Amino acid sequence: MEKAIVLAASAIGAGLAAIAGIGPGIGEGYAVGKACETIGRQPEQSGAVTRTMFIGCAVAESTGIYGLLIALVLLFANPLIGKL
Amino acid sequence: MGLKEVNITGPKVAFRIFGLNVTETVILSWCVIAVITGLILFMTHNMSKTNPSKKQIVAEWIVQIFTNMVKDSMGSINLRYTPYMATIFMFSICGSLISLLGLRPVTGDYSTTLAWALITFVMIIHAKIKNDGLGGYLIGFTKPIIVLTPINVISEVATPVSMSIRHFGNIASGIVITQLLYFALTMVSNAIGLDFPIFTIGVPAVLSVYFDLFTGFMQAFVFTMLTMANVGSAYPEPEN
């Protein structure tokens, strides 16, 4: 019974942790949109703009990756079951 | 035939030596190092100033790319960091792309990326101390007001943690998603009544272009660029 409760709570927690994907989605979309605007205005700078945008996207993505890692740990390497 | 359940684990332990686990990550890392070293020795063999061979031109082109990258983002006084950046980039990209050969990517193990991030962390601190002196570095934690010291210490330590987790998380999530996809495709084949998992042919290759090629290249690039940005801002070019 306790194990079932812990497993269910872990699954719910994993789902909640994956909500962290919303933030990076909005942020990266905004960054890419701004980069497209800039390239439209200054096509000769497209190389530098694209490079900077990818770096910014990767940095913005990290919070989503943290959430994903927590979800994966809860699903596949659950540390809570060992504490029962 | 086919997978009966999703089985996602860390790197397997190949053998134990003196009580230490030698995992497949260690073995594959040494294989990657050996391949890169062999390639470099091959390319720089028999170099000539007057009559360069094709492989020498390729080697010079690669060196030129990294030199320009470091010069652009760190300034020309930091050019001596170029070999380190090139090493991290080549090791990272080869370590991620071995997943195309069906091997477990080296960077999908947190130990690997944490080790690189710690090297970078030491380099950042070294550059800061070289720029400001030890006293200046320590006083820098109390800026702008002394109450913020714990926050500044946390943000200093957060740099290697976030760098390593970003790289590890991207590659490891690729591994997990690929495994889940194989499992799902096998289940689909079984549901139709086929004994042979016909859908696992071809479909994962399309996703592999994103999860292996694009992510591997992108994360290697991002890790190198962040190292350059952090070390470069710790030791900026003097203003004239």
ipTM score: 0.76
DSSP state of B191: H
More confident residue, B122 or B48: B122
pLDDT, position B37: 93
CB B225 to CB A55 under 8 A?
yes
Give pLDDT, residue B31. Answer: 92
Residue B4 lies in a domain: no
* Structural domain boundaries enclosing B37: 13-234
Does residue B34 sit within a domain? Answer: yes
**pLDDT band for position B22 (50/70/90)?**
confident
pLDDT for B204 equals: 77
Q: Is residue B224 part of a domain?
A: yes
Of A15-29, B101-115, B223-237, which one has max mean pLDDT? Answer: A15-29
Distance of alpha carbon B51 from alpha carbon B57, whole angstroms: 10
Question: Is there a domain that residue B89 lies in?
Answer: yes
pLDDT at B211: 79
Report the pLDDT value the prediction gives residue A39, as an integer from 0 to 100: 94
Reply yes or no: is the peptide bond before residue B238 cis, omega within 30 of 0: no
From the list B53, B81, B57, B54, the residue with the least C-alpha distance to B67 is B81
Mean of pLDDT over chain A: 88
Nearest to B200 by CA among B178, B221, B220: B178
Write down how long chain B is.
240
Which residues in chain B have Cβ-Cβ distances shorter than 8 Å to A72?
172-173, 176
Query: Which of A55, A62, A72 is opposite residue B176, by nearest beta carbon?
Result: A72
Q: What is the pLDDT of residue A62?
A: 84
Would you say B204 and B76 are in contact if contact means Cβ atoms under 8 Å apart?
no
B121 lies in a domain? Answer: yes
Q: Which two tokens stand for residue A3?
A: 């194990």
Residues 6 or more apart whose CB falls under 8 angstroms from that of B121 comprise B159, B160
Q: In this complex, do A68 and B166 lie within 8 Å of one another by their Cβ atoms?
A: no
Higher-pLDDT residue of B45 and B129 is: B129
Per-residue pLDDT band at B2 (split at 50, 70, 90): very low
In a domain, B239, yes or no: no
- Inter-chain contact A58–B218, Cβ cutoff 8 Å? yes
Indicate yes or no: pTM above 0.90: no
Question: Which tokens belong to B166?
Answer: 């970003």
CB contact under 8 A, B169 and A68: yes
Average pLDDT over residues B167-176: 87
Number of domains present in the structure of chain B? 1
For residue B226, which residues of chain A lie inside 8 Å, CB to CB? 55, 59
The residues near A74 (Cβ < 8 Å, ≥ 6 apart) are A10, A11, A13, A14, A17, A80
Task: Give the model's confidence band at B240: pLDDT under 50 very low, under 70 low, under 90 confident, else very high.
Answer: low
Whether B167 shows a pLDDT value over 80: the answer reads yes
B52 domain residue, yes or no: yes
Whether residue B1 has pLDDT greater than 50: no
Out of B6, B173, B222, whose CB is closest to A68?
B173
Closest Cβ–Cβ partner in A58, A76, A77 for B166: A58
Q: Which two tokens stand for residue B16?
A: 């134990």
The mean per-residue pLDDT over the stretch B183-211 comes to 78
Contact B173 A61 (CB under 8 A): no
For residues B104 and B212, give the distance between their C-alpha atoms in angstroms, rounded to a whole number: 11
Inter-chain residue contact A72 with B170, CB threshold 8 Å: no
Q: Which amino acid is present at A12? A: I
Mean pLDDT of chain B: 85
Query: Does position B14 have pLDDT exceeding 90, yes or no?
Result: no
Residues of B in contact with A55 (CB under 8 A): 222, 225-226, 229
Q: What is the mean pLDDT of residues B204-226?
A: 84
The reply to whether B178 falls in a domain is yes
User: Predicted confidence band at B4 (pLDDT cuts at 50, 70, 90)?
Assistant: low
Cis peptide bond N-terminal to A43, omega within 30: no
Identify the band that residue B7 occupies on the pLDDT scale cut at 50, 70 and 90. low
| Cα(A55)–Cα(A64) distance, integer angstroms | 15
Cα-to-chain-centroid distance, residue A68: 6
